[in-house]
Amino acid sequence: MQPSILIVDDEPTIVQSLTGLLSDEGFNTLSAFNGYEALKLIETESPDLVMLDIWMPGIDGIETLKEIKKDHPFLQVIIITGHGTIETAVNAIKLGAYDLIEKPLSIDKVIVAINNALNYRRLEEENRYLRKKTLEKNSITGNSPAVVTLKQQIGMAAPTDSWILITGENGVGKELVARTIHQLSQRADQPMIDVNCAAIPEELIESELFGHEKGAFTGATEKKRGKFELTGNGTIFLDEIGDMSLKTQAKILRVLQERQFQRVGGTRTIRIDFRVIAASNKDLEKEIESGHFREDLYYRLNVIPIYVPALRERIIDIPLLVQAFLEENFQQTREKSKKITEAALGLLTRYDWPGNVRELKNLVERLAIMVAKDIIDVEDLPAPYHLETLTDVQSPLEDLIAMEGFKDARAAFEKTFIQSKLRENDENITRTAEAIGVDRSYLHKRLKRFGEYE
């Protein structure tokens, strides 16, 4: 379908010539001779672009532009005028016009301006779609009282520019909360840069955060921009801030207070204006008491505290989460969608979930891959989620001794060993395979051979 263009001008000759020109170029055209007619046509016909004259009787082009942008902020408008001035152009652009073209109109300029404006509109629509999908992906799943409270806190804090400290156990979704806050903030069109404070070696922390100049130290063969600089006017997410050394905390505090820094080996001061979201799985007040965390940094970060509940505090959300993870797996693999029985869900709600939502997600992925049936049932749940594993009083060693054949005992030991390592790694198959030194595909085969997935 060809784009439609509304031509608004009180001179019939201009309207006629532009209509003929644009029709020849394959555009659908509409016309209006004043601002009132234009606004009515926009409501009824929804054109893709407006070419708007400045000087018209009644409401002029500037007032018409204001009305258009008030009700249709994403509609592109190109101003055309025979009395163009710098002041007029600046005013029009400030009000949201895409471009301004002076009369007499150049055919080439008109076509180029229209194509550029339409391309810009398409990019805006794609960006809005991607932001919507990102927000959906980062949405917090659940209707429990704890999650409802969490969503309310996010909704109130996100639009502000205040700094936020997110706390909660490992695996509860602190990063998910941080990304949701960023997507709902006024900085959503700017980057969000993650800093895993626990993963960066102490000797590299300054280079990672502040960047360095070429030759600043051995191995600095080229200039590097640090995390703070890459953030620009966006959001920096300091994950697991409680694992940062006191020495690094002091350097971070200075940057956060002064909002400026220098690259390692540099002399130029770089000024920054970003939002800070920090997260920790530790009780930072206890860390302060033990001398492991700076009190002044804590109060600098803890402007708005947000607590993310553990999964055991929101058990009623498990069915929704399981369904969401099954759907996510289906979207990724495009294999047949699977369901889970009420009985199996019932067992999952009785488990304590030390690994929280991350552990649940990894388990669902494992089940979706390894269970051959379309319905996941009680017998498909591995230890420790199966009821029998909770009531079994005989020790694994006694089980092995009771077996007569060495082959059976070895297989039973391997099964118990792998299940134990899976629990240690929150049911994450890739991480478990790395931990025990085998390929992921081998681990898949062994799990199938155990029989609990047949």
- Virtual torsion, Cα 69, 70, 72, 73, nearest 10 deg: 60
Domain assignment present for residue 231? The answer is yes
Domain assignment present for residue 454? The answer is no
pLDDT over threshold 60, residue 299: yes
Under the banding of pLDDT at 50, 70 and 90, the label for residue 282 is very high
Both 114 and 146 in one domain: the answer is no
Please compute Rg for the chain using Cα positions.
30
pLDDT tens for each residue of 242-254: 999 898 899 899 9
Q: What is the pLDDT of residue 401?
A: 47
Both 39 and 179 in one domain: the answer is no
Q: How many domains does the chain have?
A: 3
Under the banding of pLDDT at 50, 70 and 90, the label for residue 335 is confident
Judge residue 266's burial from the number of C-beta atoms within 10 Å of its C-beta, 0-12 exposed, 13-18 middle, 19 or more buried: middle
Both 143 and 283 in one domain: the answer is yes
| Amino acid identity, position 337 | S
Residue finishing a domain among 251, 282, 309 = 309
- Residue % of the chain over a pLDDT of 70: 89
For residue 51, the cross-strand partners are 7, 78
- Taking the C-alpha atoms of residue 58 and residue 32, their distance in angstroms, rounded to an integer, is 13
Residue 53 domain boundaries: 4-132
What tokens appear for 265 in the block? 């080996």
Domain assignment present for residue 196? The answer is yes
Q: What is the pLDDT of residue 123?
A: 81
pLDDT tens for each residue of 149-160: 999 999 999 999
Both 296 and 320 in one domain: the answer is no
Under 8 Å between Cβ of 348 and 312: no
Both 265 and 328 in one domain: the answer is no
pLDDT over threshold 60, residue 26: yes
Going 255 to 257 to 258 to 259, the CA torsion angle's sign is: positive
Both 233 and 331 in one domain: the answer is no
Under the banding of pLDDT at 50, 70 and 90, the label for residue 376 is very high
φ/ψ (deg, to 5) at 375 = -115, 125
Both 297 and 425 in one domain: the answer is no
Residue finishing a domain among 261, 279, 309 = 309
Both 175 and 215 in one domain: the answer is yes
Segment among 160-174, 301-315, 334-348, 422-436 with least mean pLDDT: 422-436
Both 337 and 370 in one domain: the answer is yes
pLDDT tens for each residue of 383-394: 888 755 444 434
- Taking the C-alpha atoms of residue 134 and residue 368, their distance in angstroms, rounded to an integer, is 24
Domain assignment present for residue 292? The answer is yes
Q: What is the mean pLDDT of residues 79-98?
A: 81
Q: What is the pLDDT of residue 405?
A: 57
Q: Name the DSSP letter for residue 180.
A: H
- Virtual torsion, Cα 417, 422, 424, 429, nearest 10 deg: 130
pLDDT over threshold 70, residue 6: yes
Segment among 273-282, 347-356, 435-444 with least mean pLDDT: 435-444
What tokens appear for 380 in the block? 């498909």
> Which CATH number do you get for residue 55?
3.40.50.2300
Going 185 to 186 to 190 to 195, the CA torsion angle's sign is: negative
Q: Is pLDDT larger for residue 421 or for residue 192?
A: 192
Under the banding of pLDDT at 50, 70 and 90, the label for residue 89 is confident
Q: What is the mean pLDDT of residues 347-371?
A: 90
Residue whose pair of structure tokens reads 């550029």 in the numeric block: 116
Q: What is the three-class DSSP state of 76?
A: strand
| Amino acid identity, position 114 | I
> Which CATH number do you get for residue 163?
3.40.50.300
pTM above 0.75, yes or no: no
Domain assignment present for residue 142? The answer is yes
Helix or strand (DSSP H, E) at 7: strand 4-8
pLDDT tens for each residue of 204-219: 888 889 999 988 888 8
- Taking the C-alpha atoms of residue 416 and residue 433, their distance in angstroms, rounded to an integer, is 15
pLDDT over threshold 50, residue 395: no
Both 304 and 323 in one domain: the answer is no
Under the banding of pLDDT at 50, 70 and 90, the label for residue 451 is low
Domain assignment present for residue 414? The answer is yes
Both 365 and 439 in one domain: the answer is yes
Under 8 Å between Cβ of 331 and 317: no
Q: Name the DSSP letter for residue 226.
A: -
Residue finishing a domain among 79, 98, 132 = 132
Q: What is the pLDDT of residue 165?
A: 97
pLDDT over threshold 80, residue 135: no
Both 175 and 250 in one domain: the answer is yes
> Which CATH number do you get for residue 350?
1.10.8.60
Q: What is the pLDDT of residue 189?
A: 85
Under the banding of pLDDT at 50, 70 and 90, the label for residue 84 is low
Give me the chain's average pLDDT, please. 85
Q: What is the pLDDT of residue 302?
A: 95
